[in-house]
Amino acid sequence: MNTFFALVSSPLARWRTLLGAVGLLGLLFIAGCTTPLRSNLQSFPPMASGSPPGASPEALGALKGLGRGINFGNMLESPNEGDWGLIVNREFIDATVAAGFTSVRLPVRWSNHALPLQPFTLDPPFTKRVEIVIDALLAKGLYVVLDMHHYRQLDGDAPDAGDLPVDAGLADERFLTLWQHIAQRFMFKSDHLIFELYNEPHGRLDAARWNDLMARALAVVRQHNPKRAVVVGPVGWNNAKSLETLRLPNDPHLIAAIHHYEPFTFTHQGASWIKPELPKGVTCCNAAQQLEITAPLDLAKAWSVKNNYPVYLGEFGAFNAADLDSRVNFTRLMRLEAESRGFAWSYWELASGFGVYDPVAKAFRQPLLRALMATEPVKTDKP
Ligand code: BGC
């Protein structure tokens, strides 16, 4: 067994994390009985904003490198790797390269692998595991977007089953300190490694709070990574409409992210995590649905031209409760429309409910893969 597999959360490491967490939760309880805990943000001054200079050649180069990407979803973003049925493995990495993807977006639930109280230390075996995955991807020539995903308390959401309970009052300070640890840990990696500050800010993270927090996080990252490309998206789940609320700091090495799941009644039909569940049987893409796809992309393009920063469509996809032909139509249309506007993109996701790859058959679902990768002119007429 090589280290790649051996380091998938060993039982010993899990116990150590658990015992540490239990002890710290005791402390948290005692502290909570006396004083409410509140984030101390004084030691994290924000980077100035108000006159962002536009993208640097490095940021534009990074966007080009991102090109056509795939999300390694449901792997390191689950409470513990494997909880949602998938772990990163060599088969996935090799398949990604063979299919011609140039980048991988790697969603990571850092918040479940760090102490709940200062100094918010990252769990060493988990951090090593993420590093091994990053190194394996970089070694294949891929660009990697290391994305902080699902820090539920930061958005004001309830923790997921299997999440380490942490004090919501410390969420901002903990977020910034986690970035301090992550940015320092990976500062010597190649410039093909890109940081994404936070996936889909929403809820408690309104525009004012997010703009402030993101400017502080960026200042933290820049202490050790002065020129690394950083992806930052707007509130409202990275909705293109919210780009206008994004107040970028004065930093040239930035890429703006949007996520796009419209028409939502099509892409998320039958998805158990949407309440109430959306009815199945919706096809794609009639003229109205085509407009739902193109209008947000037009908004993002106009924002990009005005602000002179490139756009990364970091997530789009259709859940497998929809019929395959419609998923192919949707995927092909979104991909072509994104490319025609000069956006890099990353399909959501490789091998789970939206998956372009079937992990049981160990093969790509060819019609979906072609919708993403075909270079020959493809028909975009409605079905
Ligand atoms: C979430 C996933 C979800 C997907 C589509 C992502 O940002 O992290 O859990 O499956 O969006 O809804």
SS (HEC) of 220-234 = HHHHHCCCCCEEECC
The span from the CA of 89 to the CA of 4, in Å, is: 8
The Cα–Cα gap between 267 and 156 comes to 25
Catalytic residue among 262, 315, 337, 349: 315
User: Does pLDDT of 380 surpass 80?
Assistant: no
Q: Is the CB of 348 under 6 A from ligand 1?
A: yes
Taking the CA of residue 107 as reference, the ligand 1 atom at the shortest distance is 8
- The pLDDT of residue 142 is 99
- CB of residue 200 inside a 6 A radius of ligand 1: yes
Residue 278 is encoded by which pair of tokens? 């959306």
Which positions ≥6 away from 29 have C-beta within 8 Å?
A: none
- pLDDT (0 to 100) of residue 112: 98
173's tokens = 């300070």
Residue-range domain boundaries for the chain: 6-35+58-373
State whether the beta carbon of 123 lies less than 6 angstroms from ligand 1.
no
Among the listed residues 196, 200, 262, 349, the single catalytic one is 200
Is 315 touching ligand 1 by the criterion CB < 6 Å? yes
Average pLDDT along the chain: 92
Q: Which helix (H) or strand (E) holds 216?
A: helix 207-224
| pLDDT tops 80 at residue 336 | yes
pLDDT score at 16: 46
- Indicate whether residue 347 lines ligand 1 (CB < 6 A): no
Over residues 279-306, mean pLDDT: 98
Residue 72 in tokens: 């390694």
- Which pTM value belongs to this model? 0.92
Q: What's the pLDDT score for residue 177?
A: 98
- Options 3.20.20.80, 3.40.640.10, 3.30.1370.60, 3.40.50.300; CATH for 6-35+58-373 is 3.20.20.80
Contact 219, 251 (CB under 8 A): no
Ligand 1, pocket-test mutation among 109, 110, 315, most atoms within 8 A of CB: 315
Query: Probe ligand 1: pick from 151, 348, 352, max atoms within 8 Å of CB?
Result: 348
6, exposed or middle or buried, with CB in 10 Å at 0-12, 13-18, 19+?
exposed
DSSP, collapsed to helix, strand or coil, labels residue 14 as helix
Ligand 1 atom at minimum distance from 77 CA:
8
* Structure-token match 């998923």, residue found: 327
Decide if 81 is catalytic.
Answer: no
Asked which of 12-26, 234-248, 317-331 is least confident by mean pLDDT, the reply is 12-26
pLDDT digits (tens, 9 = 90+) for 128-180: 999 999 999 999 999 999 999 999 999 999 999 999 989 989 999 999 999 99
Using the atom order of ligand 1, give the atom closest to the CA of residue 237. Answer: 7
The residue written with tokens 């891929």 in the block is 142
Task: Give residue 98's Cα distance to chain centre.
Answer: 23
1-4: long-range pairs with CB below 8 Å, 24+: 3/132, 4/89, 4/90, 4/132, 4/136
Instruction: Please indicate whether residue 72, judged by its CB atom, sits closer than 6 Å to ligand 1.
Output: no
| 3-class state of residue 69 by DSSP | strand
77: annotated active-site residue: no
Token representation of residue 48:
């100035």
Beta strands in the chain (DSSP E): 68-71, 103-108, 143-148, 193-196, 230-232, 254-259, 311-315, 344-347, 357-358, 363-364
Closest CA to 238 of 267, 270, 194, 207: 207
